[in-house]
Chains A and B, each alone.
Chain A
Amino acid sequence: AQTVTQSQPEMSVQEAETVTLSCTYDTSESDYYLFWYKQPPSRQMILVIRQEAYKQQNATENRFSVNFQKAAKSFSLKISDSQLGDAAMYFCAYRSVRGYGGSQGNLIFGKGTKLSVKP
């Protein structure tokens, strides 16, 4: 079974600085998707960035970018120019392309990293 591990329960960054959140996963599949979700105190799950495993190029969305190392099964999130509004829980998630348990593919989440941004 696939697993997702986030080894940093909490992280802190100074406003305008850069922070990297770690995520590793375990799978025997070669094709899959990886995601980072943000969950602010409002509890809304917000998709931050998405990566297809077959693409070697790292995904980028404005101040958010990933470092995808397929061989190492690592998928870290870099937040540049951190802002106060970036403070939230961040969840890494895995989704099989073919499906898990016969489905179209549910998301498997890590336990999350709580990011604090200091003014």
Chain B
Amino acid sequence: NAGVMQNPRHLVRRRGQEARLRCSPMKGHSHVYWYRQLPEEGLKFMVYLQKENIIDESGMPKERFSAEFPKEGPSILRIQQVVRGDSAAYFCASSPRQSNYGYTFGSGTRLTVV
């Protein structure tokens, strides 16, 4: 039973390009959460999705960032027109419906904007 799979593990983008980060939740998990970790910081919540629905995007920057979790396929975090400040590790976590346990995290994608 594979864990939460994130790819790519490392992503380098030039300023102004688009970044697409992918997350495949654990089998049987229908809830996906995206977090961002800046250097020397803890993880900060960005968005919570269920299949085809955004449940809570209160932590998502208002511009350039979007997320989706389609009926088929992985969840995608999309960052348009990246800037240096977007450089961070982006983590995805998943949980089964109404889980009372800590979420299962992926290994993250480290985005570097040059």
Q: Which residues of A contact B (CB under 8 A)?
A: 4, 33, 35, 37, 42-47, 50, 52, 91, 93, 95, 100-104, 106-112
Q: A103-B56, A104-B31, A106-B33 are in contact. Are A44 and B107 (CB under 8 A)?
A: yes
Whether the Cβ atoms of A43 and B100 lie closer than 8 Å is no
CA distance A110 to B44 in the complex (A): 9
One of B55, B101, B102 near A104 (C-beta < 8 A)? B55
A-B contacts, CB under 8 A, total: 68
User: Which 3 pairs, one residue from A and one from B, show the smallest C-beta to C-beta distance?
Assistant: A109-B42, A103-B56, A45-B105
Q: A110-B42, A111-B42 are in contact. Are A103 and B102 (CB under 8 A)?
A: no
Q: Which residues of B contact A (CB under 8 A)?
A: 31, 33, 35, 40-45, 48, 55-56, 58-59, 89, 91, 93, 98, 100-108, 110
CA distance A69 to B75 in the complex (A): 38
Q: Which residue of B lies closest to A97 (CB)?
A: B100
Whether the Cβ atoms of A45 and B40 lie closer than 8 Å is no
One of B40, B45, B55, B58 near A107 (C-beta < 8 A)? B45
CB distance from A27 to the nearest CB of B (A): 16
* Residues in chain A near residue B44, CB distance under 8 A: 109
